[in-house]
Amino acid sequence: MTENADLQSVLDRAAAGGRITPEEALELYRSAPLHALGQAADAVRRRRYGSIAHIATYIIERNINYTNSCVTACKFCAFYAPPKSDKVWTRPLEDILRRCAETVELGGTQIMFQGGHHPDYGVEYYEEHFSAIKKAFPQLVIHSLGASEIEHMSRISGVSAEEAIRRIHAAGLDSFAGAGAELLPARPRTAIAPLKESGERWLEIMEIAHSLGVESTSTMLMGTGETNAERIEHLRMIRDVQDRTGGFRAFIPYTYQPENNHLKGRTQATIFEYLRMIAIARLFLDNVAHIQGSWLTVGKEAGQLSLHYGADDLGSVMLEENVVSSAGARHRSNRMELIDLIRKAGRVPAQRATTYEHLLVHDDPANDPVDDRVVSHISSTAIEGGTAHPELKLIDAG
């Protein structure tokens, strides 16, 4: 009885906006009743957003994979190919620009440039590609890469991380994705990604980026064998940096997919573990504005449920996605379905920008968009039926 009372006391404090310790967060994550945890997280969300708490957002974006050649060989990844493999491919710039044109044509506002750590691609490669994209499509936000790519490209080019960030930012990068965070604590990170930089170095590079005015998101890969304590430690490491920089716009947990990779699904996170993480993140990360649900890896129903556990955003209609799809994520959606999922969760859907401003609030179902071309995986090497919509015409970039 005392233990339950203590848990409720911590939940009440967190729900009221008080800061909780990592030890308290771990106890809540392990032991608090699921619905009580969700209620407290939802109370935090409603207080934070006040007059717009009735709105939940989504974005239309495209992941453009420029190469699958990678020297990092992470054990959870089903996308990469060793550099000397006959399965290696690299997209030419012309093809990348065509995909950007399709994105604009379909109302997309953001691209995520995502690929392997190619042994030959230094800062110059990204400068060339980002400047070409920005010249042709200045309206597209380049929300791409992460600290791991910075560590790699700076090593290839023989420059500091700070110089690499300055140069690609000047070339057109707007903000960093949370790519490469996986698990930040040393034991699970070494187990699944032994060739990657340490979690401390990942955060150090993000802190440099924030100091240069380049904001980012933060992520967590759940279900590769990490402990509950290590999950909370991951959150603590993010919160500590956020206290100093304020540069993380959002936190996005997603679940490991078990197909076609070296881990072979020996461990996985359950839907309940995922929902508990969404809730505990909303309670613990009192300095991070947004918590995003990930329908792509946990499914649309669980994604919808996340909106009742502290999430204020349901992610994206991904016009193209190959990385987690290669590992078995088969969930697909479209804009109309995502709007419907949000509405049936009791919220008003809104299309957002990368920086979370509302671009279009769907407050009247009679005015909902009806373009059935805006569908996830219009182009995918990983999901059968990805088509790249041949009927779409390249718009005149001039």
Q: What are the distances in angstroms from CA 146 to CA 7, 163, 199, 225? A: 36, 15, 12, 23
Q: Which of 32, 30, 10, 34 is nearest to 227 (CA)?
A: 30
* Alpha helix ranges (H) inside the chain: 2-15, 22-31, 34-49, 93-105, 123-136, 147-157, 161-171, 186-192, 199-211, 228-245, 271-284, 295-298, 300-306, 323-326, 335-344
User: H/E element holding 291?
Assistant: strand 290-291
**In this predicted model, what pLDDT tens digit does every residue of 129-183 receive, in sequence order?**
999 999 999 999 999 999 999 999 999 999 999 999 999 999 999 999 988 888 9
Q: Which of 17, 14, 45, 44 is nearest to 27 (CA)?
A: 14
- pTM of the model as a whole: 0.87
Q: Residue 330's pLDDT is what?
A: 47
Half-sphere exposure (Cβ direction) of 17: Cα atoms closer than 13 Å: 4
Q: Residue 78's pLDDT is what?
A: 57
- What is the average pLDDT across 207-211? 98
Beta strand pairing call for 110-114 and 141-144: parallel
User: H/E element holding 317?
Assistant: strand 313-318
Beta strand pairing call for 358-361 and 313-318: unpaired
Residues making up the binding site for [4Fe-4S] cluster? 70, 74, 77
DSSP string, 323-363: HHHHTT-----BHHHHHHHHHHTT-EEEEE-TT--EEEE--
Give the integer Cα–Cα distance in Å for 129 and 104.
17
Q: Which residue has the tokens 């042709």?
A: 136
Q: Which residues pair with 161 in a beta bridge?
A: none
Of the pLDDT bands very low, low, confident and very high (cuts 50, 70, 90), residue 325 is: very low
Residues making up the binding site for S-adenosyl-L-methionine? 76, 182
111 pLDDT higher than 70? yes
Instruction: Identify whether the C-beta of residue 298 lies closer than 8 Å to the C-beta of residue 269.
Output: no
Of the pLDDT bands very low, low, confident and very high (cuts 50, 70, 90), residue 319 is: confident
- What is the average pLDDT across 68-83? 65
Most confident range, picked from 39-48, 181-190, 327-336:
39-48
What is the domain partition of the chain in residue ranges? 56-367
How many of the other CB atoms lie within 10 Å of CB of 277?
28
Beta strand pairing call for 358-361 and 348-352: antiparallel
Query: Counting every residue, how long is the chain?
Result: 398
Of the pLDDT bands very low, low, confident and very high (cuts 50, 70, 90), residue 89 is: confident
**Residue 237 CB partners (closer than 8 Å, separation 6+):** 184, 185, 199, 200, 203
Residues making up the binding site? 70, 74, 76-77, 182, 294, 316
Q: Residue 375's pLDDT is what?
A: 66
CATH code of the region 56-367: 3.20.20.70
Residues making up the binding site for (3R)-3-methyl-D-ornithine? 294, 316
